Amino acid sequence: MELTDTALAALLAREPVARLATLNREGRPHLVPVVFAPSAQHIYSPIDGKPKRGATLARIRNLDANPAAALLIDHYDHDWRALWWLRLDVHAECVQRSNVPAAEFAAAIAALTNKYPQYAATAVLRDDATLIRMRIVKQVAWSATDG
């Protein structure tokens, strides 16, 4: 099943969390929960500013080596007729204000702040913010009702 552009846009605007899957150098999957927001032709996810044991985050290392990734958004319900999932195969890269057009970066920050008002009170999306920019390559969706 493939979602229409309108249905996909509504789902991306509505759903609060996804799982980002990348591959490490040995080809093993690495999954992390992420927040995200669509803006223009991309989906953006921030890299937060909390200390991470001093090392570069695995998802950043993985994307630097291989930009192929997947974003999984799903819904579980005790009523299994309400189950669904959407997997977006994406081309992902880390971007900062200094390496993308200013208008694109500002729109991405605005989309994230509008979707997650908590960002207005944190330093995560300030001047030196790092975002994962994802371009959808393929989508695969399933729902119990469409079987």
Each residue's pLDDT tens digit, 70-96: 999 999 999 999 999 999 999 999 999
How many separate domains does the chain show? 1
CATH of the domain at 37: 2.30.110.10
Question: b or e along 39-60 (b: 16 or more beta carbons within 10 Å of the residue's beta carbon)?
Answer: beebbbbbbbeeeeeeeebebb
User: Which pairs with CB-CB distance under 8 Å and at least 24 residues apart come from 102-105?
Assistant: 104/39, 104/40, 105/131
Q: Longest Cα pair distance anywhere in the chain, in angstroms?
A: 47
Which range marks the domain in which residue 27 is found?
A: 5-143
Provide the residue-wise pLDDT of the chain in tens; the chain has 147 residues.
Answer: 889 999 999 999 999 999 999 999 999 999 999 999 999 899 999 997 554 555 688 999 999 999 999 999 999 999 999 999 999 999 999 999 999 999 999 999 999 999 999 998 888 888 788 999 999 999 999 999 985
